[in-house]
A and B are shown apart, each in its own frame.
Chain A
Amino acid sequence: MKKALITGITGQDGSYLAEFLLEKGYQVYGLIRRTSTTNLQRIEHLRDKIKLVEGDLVDQHSLTYSLKEVKPDEVYNLAAQSFVPTSFRQPVLTGEVTGLGVTRMLEAIRIGYPQAKFYQASSSEMFGKAKEVPQNEKTPFYPRSPYGVAKVYGHWITVNYREAYQLFAVSGICFNHESPRRGEEFVTRKIARAVARIKLGKQKKLVLGNLQAKRDWGFAGDYVEAMWLMLQQDKADDYVIGTGETHSVEEFCQQAFKVIGIEKWQDYVETKEGYFRPAEVDMLIADPSKAKKVLGWQPKTTFRKLVELMVKADLEKEK
């Protein structure tokens, strides 16, 4: 039976990936960090099927020990301080976890169990003020936040370790991917939740920042398949994962309100300067053609379907 170790298993991607790997017959281990209020909500339904191992990306020994103990065939590093605004407030912590955490995990693999294959969750935020549109695996990075910088570090150190130590280490440059399990601080979930609450009469207004901000939004459930596919190839390589389409925050609102039968969404939405990003990233659109060609991967869920999925899930939750 194949074994996989997932960091960030309690997060959106981690929980979808755990489900996906269980279905493939893997023994799934999740690395979790002890806190006084551990939040296992997203993996509650999997608790009896997965094994949790205590460890932390800021603690080298805990990682090396976990690798030696679990001896996983595959390691998926999905844990990170992943919220851009927080990275401006806590840039050192972001660098410690999101950046250096990758080096520590690679060191743990190199020392503890070098045959393990490694997946690093990289981000389209690395392209930031993108030097070309759309972005592919060769597009230069120009990160615009400490989060983006830390992810760039994680990406490069993964490539460095692959080239220098011949580890099977890959980096998946994922564009935004959403789902009903997205954190409430992210704009898509914020909209979906607010729309559900407006429908149920629990809320009157939705306050947003820049409505014109555009992103390449996909469904997280589709993206975890690409992560797995990358580790099933003969050759370790990096891939851009995205839909190749962009939609604005405004379009997201429009679609979301449509789900609850409201056409005049503007009546419910306000914008506030304070919610704008000081250094907005430019046109982030994926060119996922390499993933399609080599991995045979493409997104299955359309934008409309994604919005609908999210609003309906929040309607269910808020009832």
Chain B
Amino acid sequence: MKKALITGITGQDGSYLAELLLEKGYQVIGMVSQEHDIGEKNINSFKKRLVLETGDLLDKQSLERIIKKYQPGEVYNLGAVTFVPQSWQKPAFTFDVNALGVIRLLQLVKDLSPKAKFFQATSAKIFGSPDKGPQTEESSVQPATPYAVSKACGHFLTQNFRDHFNLFACSGIMYNHESERRGKEFVTRKITSTAVRIKLGQVKKLVLGDLKAKEDWGYAPDYVEAMWLMLQQDRADDYILATGKQHSVADICQIAFGYLDLDWKKYVVTDKKFVRKEKEQNFFGNPSKAKKVLGWQPKTTFKQMVEKMVNYDWQLTKEEQQ
């Protein structure tokens, strides 16, 4: 039986990846950091089928114990400090987890399980505010926040360890990917969950930043499939995972409120406090390498994704009401 270790298993991507690997017959070992964890709500429904171990990317001994015990054939490093504003509050902590954490894991893979395949979750935010789009695997890395800087370092370190020690280590450079399991601090989920509350009369307004802000938004369950595919190739390599299309915050509002038969313009107000400095008009990915080599492409459209999220938030909020 194939064994996979997932760090960050309680997060959005970790939980979808765990489900995918369980379906494929893997034994899935999930690392849960008690101290920094976000709770088990994303994995509750299939928790019994997982092996959960307490460990932390900051604590090398805990990682060593887990890798020694299970000797996983695949390691997916999805654990990270992922919320950009937090990285300004805690820049050193962000680097310790997101960059030094990668080294701690890679060193252990090298020493204890050098045949294991390693996936590093890299954020397309490493490209900063690019001069032209779309970005490819060759585009310049120019991160603009401590979060993006730490992810850029994790990306380079993955490449260094692959080239220097011949490890099978891959970096997936992912654009935003959302889902029903996205944290409510992220704008997509903030919109879908608030739209539902407005529909149900629980709140009156939705406060957002720049409505014209654009992102390349994909659906997380599609992206975890690409992670797995990257580790099934003969050669370790890096891939851009993206939809190649941009949508604005206003587009999400329109679909989400429209699905609930509401006119978003009546409920959405903007506050400069939430406006980001980065310019993203050229920020979108070119996933053609992933399509060509992995045969991967996103299956879920933007509209389908937003509607799924609204549906889910509807049910969740209804349940909470009862």
Contacts and interface: CB of A to CB of B under 8 A. Distances in A.
Contacts of B186: none
Contact of A145 (B60, B140, B144, B160): B160
Interface string B137-160: 000111111100110110011001
A1 interface: no
Interface stretch (B91-99, B210-218, B244-252, B297-305): B91-99
A140 B100 CA distance: 22
A95 B91 contact: no
A146 interface: yes
A275 interface: no
A91 B146 contact: no
Given A92-B103, A107-B92, A140-B140, A160 B163 contact: no
B92 A100 contact: yes
A99 B153 contact: yes
B36 interface: no
A141 interface: yes
B91 A103 contact: yes
Interface stretch (A114-122, A151-159, A194-202, A292-300): A151-159
Contacts of A146: 103, 157, 160
Interface string A90-120: 0110011001100110010000000000000
A160 B100 contact: no
Contacts of B156: 142-143, 148-149, 152
Contacts of A148: 156, 160
A254 interface: no
Nearest to A101: B92
A92 B60 CA distance: 10
B107 interface: yes
Q: Is the interface of A mostly helix, strand, loop or mixed?
A: helix
Nearest to B95: A100
A27 interface: no
Size band of the B side of the interface? 20 to 34
A96 B83 CA distance: 22
B46 interface: no
Interface string A152-175: 110011001001100000000000
A293 B107 CA distance: 44
Contact of A140 (B103, B142, B149): B142
Contacts of A278: 163-164
Interface string B163-180: 110000000000000000
A149 B92 contact: no
A60 B153 CA distance: 21
B70 interface: no
A164 to B, nearest CB: 7
A157 B146 CA distance: 7
Contact of A141 (B91, B141, B164): B141
A247 interface: no
Contact of B163 (A96, A104, A163, A279): A279
A83 interface: no
A96 B142 CA distance: 21
B140 A107 contact: no
A55 to B, nearest CB: 16
B114 to A, nearest CB: 15
Nearest to B100: A95
A88 interface: yes
Given A95-B99, A95-B100, A160 B144 contact: yes
Contacts of A156: 143, 149, 152
The 6 closest A-B pairs by CB, nearest first: A140-B140, A156-B149, A91-B103, A149-B156, A95-B100, A279-B163
10 contacts: A60-B92, A91-B103, A131-B140, A141-B141, A149-B156, A152-B152, A152-B153, A157-B91, A279-B160, A279-B163
Interface of A: 60, 88, 91-92, 95-96, 99-100, 103-104, 107, 131, 140-146, 148-150, 152-153, 156-157, 160, 163-164, 278-279
